[in-house]
Structure 1
Amino acid sequence: MRIRPGRSAVVPQPPFSPLVARLPETVPFVGPEALARRSGIPLRARIGANESGFGPSPKVVAAVAAAAPQSWAYPDPENHDLRAALAAHLGIGMDEVVAGEGIDGLLGLAVRLFIAPGDAVITSLGAYPTFNYHVAGFGGVLHGVPYAGAHEDLSALADRARETGARMVYLANPDNPMGSHWPAEAVEAFITALPETCLLILDEAYGETAPAGTLPPIDTARPNLLRFRTFSKAYGLAGLRIGYAFGNSRLVGGFERIRNHFGLNRLGQVAALAALADHDHLGWAVGAIARARGRIADIARENGLAPLPSATNFVTIDCGGDGDYASLVLAELAQRGVFIRKPMAPGLDRHIRISAAPDSELDILAETLPQALRAAYGAG
């Protein structure tokens, strides 16, 4: 086709679906790699993504190395051995557990399974943004409930679910981004308070680092509860993307209608099996995380800041000002090669969040935090 001078050609293009056409291009979390590329500042301390810098079990590393030559072969699409091990670990049936590409991938599948365009979905205002991303992607209507201090407000969440006729509610216990937790009794009462037709998505990513009595007893007879756990935190396998969900066999069976059956790769399955079997390393890692939380809290107090109690692998710190001041602290740390994150919702945004890490990285935090605070105060 010839284009006449002064005219531009209108080239037909495949249209997006009406729903997708309305969505912005979004990455829920900007990674430290992207920040380093944009700024040109080398990363010195990676303490913002709630990974475990303490690393995986040496037995996991050995198992992955031994399995690497078999990477030419597709993974088991049924994830049979891993699901059998998880079922034994949880004391449930294999048909009551599904494995997938981290909690993030499983959340997307859960939303796709149960949420139609226009359905009401309840979450806390400032809670995990990747869940919100999936709800928007499938046309759900999000209703945000403000936190009550540092805790998700269970009563308000249940009330909002009843008021809206919600199809789904999201709760993280322990909580991200605040690090708080509810005892098991409060969570069980919350489940009971929800309408039976409303599915609770209970994110227990930080369950291994929580105090005893935080996680409710496992009861897969509940018809409206899906619980999600991961190998990304205490087990130190965030880079391999392995998570699992468990609950009523009818709910779990729904994943077989839509999941990516080759989504959980061969080395990931091997790593998860080895990690699940190494109880000693898990105990060591949980202890190391607790010690690192204590040191982060000490560093915060030494600089006049207030650390919040944490049941997770990070510590949320009140900077004592407003959200703009906390953002300045975040930016000043980034200028010094220290990657952390912060809550963004009103009421939470005066905080910053720092991941547990080995002493070598916390030494850098101890060096740079007072510098960042002075610079932020001078710029504020």
Structure 2
Amino acid sequence: MTHPRYTKLLDSLPPTVPFVGPEVIERTTGQPFSARLGANENTFGPSPKALEAMRQADTEIWKYPDSASHDLKSEIAAQNDVGYDNIVIGEGVDGLLGYLARMMVEQGDAVVTSDGAYPTFNYHVAGFGGVLHKVPFKDDHEDLDALIARAAEVDAKLLYLSNPDNPMGSYIPGDTIAAALDRLPTGCLMILDEAYIELAPQDARTPIATEDPRVIRMRSMSKAYGLAGARVGYALGAAPLIKNFDKIRNHFGMNRSAQHAALAALQDTEWLAHIQTQVQQARDHLTRIANDNGLTALPSATNFVTIDCGKDGAYAKAVLDNLAAQGIFVRMPGPAPLNRCIRVSCAQTAALDLFAAALPAALKAAQ
């Protein structure tokens, strides 16, 4: 009997996925969610101008996309005051992280990240044979000093830092990150994942020269711009680094209509300001809900609020499970002590009211 001859690396990997999507959970349980508050999606929606651009582009969906994403890259370059050659467009930050891992990671290479940080990055590193070295969060923040120290200890090729971070919603001032770059070990590239940067205070932005070879910044159109389903992300970095993406990326991987929608979304600055206001109001709403139930909402610089349930991971998991049984989809961080919390996405008042109504019963059931 013939069979595919898989690589030894593939055979060594566990049959896991980074996230179990809400649709998968709904199909498994046979129960739809009434409030979708676990995926950090922008439920307020994208710019109407972006939706119209997508509808118009759909009539030409028979065409392949622009393999260079020229117009979109030009807009990003203008808005960020960087060169056209400092930008690569990809299928969300997830896609770009996968390309970067393919470019940088060989079997046995060391990579440093935080214990509890974005699992999709870990998934890509493992997929190319890298060895992950994890550093615990410190006081619900990523521990930048410890990350850099560990990178030096293991001769890491990559150091992953999200700012603001997922899953806790905290952030490190950008000036602090910039100053720390001088301590980054030689030959280590910092991945600065700024997926939530448009929703963060101004001092979260890191003043880094785009041609600085020590850093690549990742940005997303999924959060503030509400285009998670379109799968659009981009990276800013030194031109030689960015050029190397062309050696391995899927040149026709972008969706043509999504390219047009992303361009229109970036140009609609009034809608972005509207979303920033809506998210802040939702953060305030979630903080009130937490306080009303004797819980603590952690300060958030993102489009979600992490709520400390005040006990251990087993208790928080019981709260989450009971919320799910009531049709409320939320998530929780993975490792202790972060797993004492649940993480709730910002959303319209109606959805947050459903969460508020379900939470007291979930807390009582978890006792």
TM range (shorter): over 0.9
1:248 to 238, 245, 269: 238
Distance (whole Å) between structure 2 residues aligned to residue 314 and residue 191 of structure 1: 28
**Structure 1 residue 48 corresponds to structure 2 residue 38:** yes
- Computed over aligned residues only, the root mean square deviation of the Cα atoms, in angstroms, reads 0.8
Residues 28-70 of structure 1 show CA distances to partners (whole Å, capped at 9, x for unaligned) of: 1111111111111121000110000000011111111111110
Residue 373 of structure 1 aligns with which residue? 363
Residue 61 of structure 1 aligns with which residue? 51
> In 1, are the aligned partners of 2:178 and 2:208 still within 8 Å (CA)?
no
Distance (whole Å) between structure 2 residues aligned to residue 57 and residue 190 of structure 1: 37
Alignment of 1:169-180 (within 5 A): 169-180=159-170
Distance (whole Å) between structure 2 residues aligned to residue 42 and residue 166 of structure 1: 43
Partner-residue secondary structure (3-state), 2:178: helix
Unaligned runs of 5+ in 2: none
- Tell me the CA shift for residue 218 of structure 1: 4.0
Distance (whole Å) between structure 2 residues aligned to residue 152 and residue 125 of structure 1: 9
Residue 293 of structure 1 aligns with which residue? 283
> In 1, are the aligned partners of 2:178 and 2:207 still within 8 Å (CA)?
no
Residue 324 of structure 2 aligns with which residue? 334
- Tell me the CA shift for residue 143 of structure 1: 0.2
Distance (whole Å) between structure 2 residues aligned to residue 191 and residue 349 of structure 1: 30
Residue 308 of structure 1 aligns with which residue? 298
Distance (whole Å) between structure 1 residues aligned to residue 127 and residue 58 of structure 2: 35
1:21 to 8, 11, 16: 11
Residue 195 of structure 1 aligns with which residue? 185
> In 1, are the aligned partners of 2:49 and 2:268 still within 8 Å (CA)?
yes
Which is worse superposed, 188-197 or 365-374? 188-197
Partner-residue secondary structure (3-state), 2:320: helix
Residue 221 of structure 2 aligns with which residue? 231
**Structure 1 residue 116 corresponds to structure 2 residue 106:** yes
**Structure 1 residue 74 corresponds to structure 2 residue 60:** no
> In 1, are the aligned partners of 2:26 and 2:33 still within 8 Å (CA)?
yes
1:219 to 209, 215, 220: 209
- Tell me the CA shift for residue 260 of structure 1: 0.3
Residues 261-304 of structure 1 show CA distances to partners (whole Å, capped at 9, x for unaligned) of: 11111011001000000000000001100100110011011011
Partner-residue secondary structure (3-state), 1:178: coil
Partner-residue secondary structure (3-state), 2:203: coil
Partner-residue secondary structure (3-state), 2:204: coil
The one-letter code sitting in structure 2 at the alignment partner of 1:170 is Y
The one-letter code sitting in structure 2 at the alignment partner of 1:335 is A
**Structure 1 residue 355 corresponds to structure 2 residue 345:** yes
Alignment of 1:255-266 (within 5 A): 255-266=245-256
Residues 139-189 of structure 1 show CA distances to partners (whole Å, capped at 9, x for unaligned) of: 000000011011011111011001111111000000100000010111112
Distance (whole Å) between structure 1 residues aligned to residue 211 and residue 248 of structure 2: 23
> In 1, are the aligned partners of 2:298 and 2:305 still within 8 Å (CA)?
yes
Distance (whole Å) between structure 1 residues aligned to residue 189 and residue 16 of structure 2: 26
Residues 302-339 of structure 1 show CA distances to partners (whole Å, capped at 9, x for unaligned) of: 01111100000000011011001100111000001110
> In 2, are the aligned partners of 1:145 and 1:157 still within 8 Å (CA)?
yes
Residue 8 of structure 1 aligns with which residue? none
Distance (whole Å) between structure 2 residues aligned to residue 212 and residue 89 of structure 1: 16
> In 2, are the aligned partners of 1:196 and 1:223 still within 8 Å (CA)?
no
> In 2, are the aligned partners of 1:123 and 1:142 still within 8 Å (CA)?
yes
Alignment of 1:177-188 (within 5 A): 177-188=167-178
- Tell me the CA shift for residue 221 of structure 1: 2.3
Residue 133 of structure 1 aligns with which residue? 123
**Structure 1 residue 150 corresponds to structure 2 residue 140:** yes
Partner-residue secondary structure (3-state), 2:31: coil
Partner-residue secondary structure (3-state), 2:100: helix
- Tell me the CA shift for residue 196 of structure 1: 2.9
Residue 274 of structure 2 aligns with which residue? 284
Residue 80 of structure 2 aligns with which residue? 90
Partner-residue secondary structure (3-state), 1:229: strand
Partner-residue secondary structure (3-state), 1:19: helix
The one-letter code sitting in structure 1 at the alignment partner of 2:337 is G
> In 2, are the aligned partners of 1:116 and 1:140 still within 8 Å (CA)?
yes
The one-letter code sitting in structure 1 at the alignment partner of 2:91 is E
Distance (whole Å) between structure 1 residues aligned to residue 234 and residue 242 of structure 2: 10
Distance (whole Å) between structure 2 residues aligned to residue 94 and residue 116 of structure 1: 29
Q: Highest Rg: 1 or 2?
A: 1
Residue 33 of structure 1 aligns with which residue? 23
> In 1, are the aligned partners of 2:218 and 2:234 still within 8 Å (CA)?
yes
Q: How many residues align?
A: 367
Distance (whole Å) between structure 2 residues aligned to residue 118 and residue 309 of structure 1: 37
Distance (whole Å) between structure 2 residues aligned to residue 63 and residue 78 of structure 1: 19
The one-letter code sitting in structure 2 at the alignment partner of 1:284 is H
Residue 4 of structure 1 aligns with which residue? none
> In 2, are the aligned partners of 1:121 and 1:140 still within 8 Å (CA)?
yes
Which is worse superposed, 190-199 or 360-369? 190-199
Distance (whole Å) between structure 2 residues aligned to residue 222 and residue 306 of structure 1: 39
